[in-house]
A = this chain, B = another copy of it.
Amino acid sequence: MANCARIEDNGKKRIVIIGGGFGGLELAKSLKDADVQVVLLDKQNFHTFQPLLYQVATAGLEGESIIHPFRQIFEAQPNFYFRWAEVQAIDTTTQMVETTIGLLRYDLLVMATGATTNYFGDKLMEKAALAMKNIDDALELRNTVLSNFEKALQIDDEEQLNSLMDYVIVGGGPTGVELAGALSELRKHVFPKDYKELDFIKMDIHLIQSGPQLLKGMSEEASRKAQQYLEDFGVKIWLNRRVQSYDGYTVTLDTGETLITRTLIWAAGVNGAPIAGIKPESILKGNRLQVDVYNRVIGYENIFALGDVAAMVTDENPQGHPMMAQPAIQQGKLLGKNIINLLAGKSLTPFQYHDQGAMATIGRNHAVADLKIFNKEIRTQGFRAWVIWMFIHLISIVGFRNRFVVLFNWIWSYFSFNKGIRFILGKTHENIPVEAVTQKAVI
């Protein structure tokens, strides 16, 4: 018999949730008082507050301040079980999840697996580019940026020097915009003090966006202001361009233009991340699982999906909801109630998305926000948007300890014009050795 994951069978219906992102977390919480067994599986033992990843990547926050242990979050929820495991496949006929710790039976299964970076099948790009999806990515980017400058101190050749000092960010959504802004702050206030021998006029930050404006999906006003702020901060914005190829050194755009960089950050497309074992007809373009208005995966009775991996395709939303925190959180909350109703034989409530707007911060005192409060749209930019952005993010972070450490770091950074977490600690992105390319250039 196959190895089985050990979780006591207490006679209750077992709800297995795969993934503890925003959606999975909300769902597990909303099942707090249900007479069921809630099992959360995640390959990390903590929840990640993804909206602040870019601040970890740019030395503004310690990684530990935006993550929170699942076991601590659910300390007071007796029906909750966490298992640190990666899910490899599901078997829908035997109702089993295959994981790195063995097989696990489910009564109801919820896929809350989120999204992965989509390189559109470009294997070279996947190897050469840096992603920005999880805490490991963010720490790797931080280490890479810092070690680039340490290496740059040893370089004479101008092109080699630029390849280490220049950054290319692909994708003009919130992550790309926020990262470009934070890098430009480091360039202005921090790096020139750290690396006095380098000339930071040489450091270019390129932001590449496939469409005609940044922050697609936000108001025209927000896009325009975000672009203006970034340009004021010296970020070079390339609109209406796609990256054709990247080999770890040369970026080629679809217009034929080229850029040289050792650090390309891929903040563009994402794909849903479903698990093997779901029938192909339930999987839509972009690898998302098609769900009905109750988040039930089409073609299954007892399998649900929510958040980024779920596409609730309706006439109103032919693409499903945006792959953002809010739809996942709202779906998680409602699905918890619906599961309780389902088990009690009661009728279910269809999901209705309450768009609360979107926001992005560009740098100190500069943000853009399109808010929807009581169905009233409020558009604001600049200092006021920046204060709102900070407030909303601060109250959204899980855990008092984290909230306090983040707030302290923000206050300290604001008054000192400094970013304190400039450590090369852990994995650094390995590219072609600088020496190899240098020698090639010399020959």
Contacts and interface: CB of A to CB of B under 8 A. Distances in A.
A153 B6 contact: yes
Contacts of A193: 71, 75
- Counting chain A residues whose Cβ lies within 8 A of the other chain, the interface size class is 35 or more
A123 to B, nearest CB: 26
Interface string A400-441: 111011001100100000101111111000000001000000
Nearest to A400: B412
A46 interface: yes
Residue with the highest number of chain B CB atoms closer than 10 Å, among A6, A102, A409, A420: A420
Contact of A71 (B101, B136, B156, B422): B422
Interface string A126-150: 0000000001100000000011001
A194 B6 contact: no
Contacts of A75: 193-194
A153 B101 CA distance: 10
Given A84-B147, A150-B45, A64 B6 contact: no
Nearest to A420: B401
A26 interface: no
Contacts of A317: none
A10 to B, nearest CB: 11
Nearest to A76: B193
Contact of A84 (B150, B409, B421): B150
A69 to B, nearest CB: 4
A65 interface: yes
A396 B3 CA distance: 51
Interface of A: 3, 5-6, 8, 44-46, 62-65, 67, 69, 71-72, 75, 83-84, 101-102, 135-136, 146-147, 150, 153-156, 193-195, 197, 399-402, 404-405, 408-409, 412, 418, 420-426, 435
Contact of A425 (B63, B72, B197, B424): B63
Given A44-B424, A46-B423, A401-B409, 13 more contacts: A3-B435, A6-B153, A6-B156, A45-B422, A45-B423, A62-B62, A64-B423, A67-B425, A69-B423, A71-B195, A71-B422, A72-B194, A404-B412
